[in-house]
Amino acid sequence: MVKNSQRQAMLFGLSAVLLWSTVATAFKISLNYLTPVQLVLFASITSVITLSLWVSYQQRWHQVVLAFKKKPFYYLLMGLLNPFLYYIVLFKAYDLLPAQQAQPLNYTWALTLTLLAVPLLNQKLTKIDMLACCLGYTGALIIATGGNLMALNFNSPLGVTLALTSTLLWALYWVYNTRNTDDPVVSLLLCFLCSMPLIIFANIYAGGFSIQWQGIAGAIYVGLFEMGITFVLWLTALKKATHIARISNLIFISPFLSLLFISWVLGESIAPSTFIGLIIIVVAVIVQQQQKTTGAINDNNKEKYSQIA
């Protein structure tokens, strides 16, 4: 029975990782037809529908109402961070950068989380943490400069800045989320619901809704597999796992699979500097995750994730 549960967990986990590995490619394709704010809008609508169906299936709408009544300002703030600010900034970074640069740069969010945990969670930065951050951001610099570290020549300084800013926003979201005991799907749905007025206003301010069907199709894919179904698959994997570490470590496969899809589908020629930089970032994240300073965050989230029914 235990083996069967772990096997199911691996299946759900691998499915989530595979789907997440495709979304960087989907971002770039969708941005050929939509602006970043339009992509956020239609992807968020898809995610709201998907998560609402899941909450309905689980008969948890009473939890949604109670959670919002208990912490309305908290969810308004979280909705502002994610999906509103985070995805607008992230999609704009993808709009300005090749996918092979934007995707690995965004992956440094775990290192940003380590740094933010110091002032916001009163955690100490160890020597290993500092080593991991130095390694990770060196890898990011290698990717951003195409391997030409001495020249510090960026193809799109704004794109790099936005990609790294997205890691700050995502890390802030998780820092503020660490002590939230509400069901994770309920919490995510509330974040999306609270952000919808902001997203709609941003689209009106940016100039309307002139779109093409290819963009809508891409946004639906992003909403399903970046923000919706994949999240549920991952939570289910963590709930079923008898060895959570084996499941959580699957996430390290994702950035490398993502580069394969970027190469195959988008036709981007993956630069050696991208691959080298990504390896350095992944090694840094693995080192960082071994530390007690971030272990408290990860254990809290894993315990919370495992509550999904």
pLDDT of residue 234: 79
pLDDT of residue 286: 83
171: tokens are 């890390």
Rg (CA), the chain: 19
Helices and strands (DSSP H and E) totals, the chain: 17, 0
Rounded to an integer, the average pLDDT of 263-279 is 90
Residue 81 pLDDT exceeds 70: yes
The CA distance from 12 to 20, in Å, is 12
Q: What is the DSSP string of 67-136?
A: HHHH-HHHHHHHHIIIIIIHHHHHHHHHHHS-HHHHHHHHTTHHHHHHHHHHHHH-----HHHHHHHHHH
Residue 14: helix, strand or coil by DSSP? helix
Nearest one of 183, 177, 192, 185 to 222, comparing CA atoms: 192
Residue 205 pLDDT exceeds 60: yes
The CA distance from 158 to 170, in Å, is 18
Q: Which residue has the higher pLDDT, 64 or 155?
A: 64
Contacts of 203 (CB under 8 A, 6+ apart): 37, 38, 41, 209
247: tokens are 């499941």
Rounded to an integer, the average pLDDT of 274-289 is 85
Q: Which amino acid is at 170?
A: W
Q: Which residue has the higher pLDDT, 142 or 242?
A: 142
Band of residue 218 on the pLDDT scale cut at 50, 70, 90: very high
Band of residue 39 on the pLDDT scale cut at 50, 70, 90: very high
The CA distance from 153 to 223, in Å, is 34
Nearest one of 89, 252, 230 to 171, comparing CA atoms: 89
Statement: the pTM of the whole predicted model exceeds 0.75 = yes
Q: Which amino acid is at 114?
A: T
Contacts of 196 (CB under 8 A, 6+ apart): 44, 45, 48
Phi and psi dihedrals of 256, rounded to 5? -75, -40
pLDDT of residue 2: 55
- How far out from the chain centre does Cα 250 lie? 15
Q: Which amino acid is at 75?
A: Y
Pair 193, 49: CB distance under 8 Å: no
pLDDT of residue 297: 44
- Lowest-confidence range among 75-84, 86-95, 129-138, 182-191? 129-138
The CA distance from 116 to 175, in Å, is 8
pLDDT of residue 73: 95
Residue 306 pLDDT exceeds 50: no
Residue 150 pLDDT exceeds 70: no
59: tokens are 């008969």
Residue 309 pLDDT exceeds 80: no
As a whole number of Å, the end-to-end CA separation of the chain is: 18
Residue 175 pLDDT exceeds 60: yes
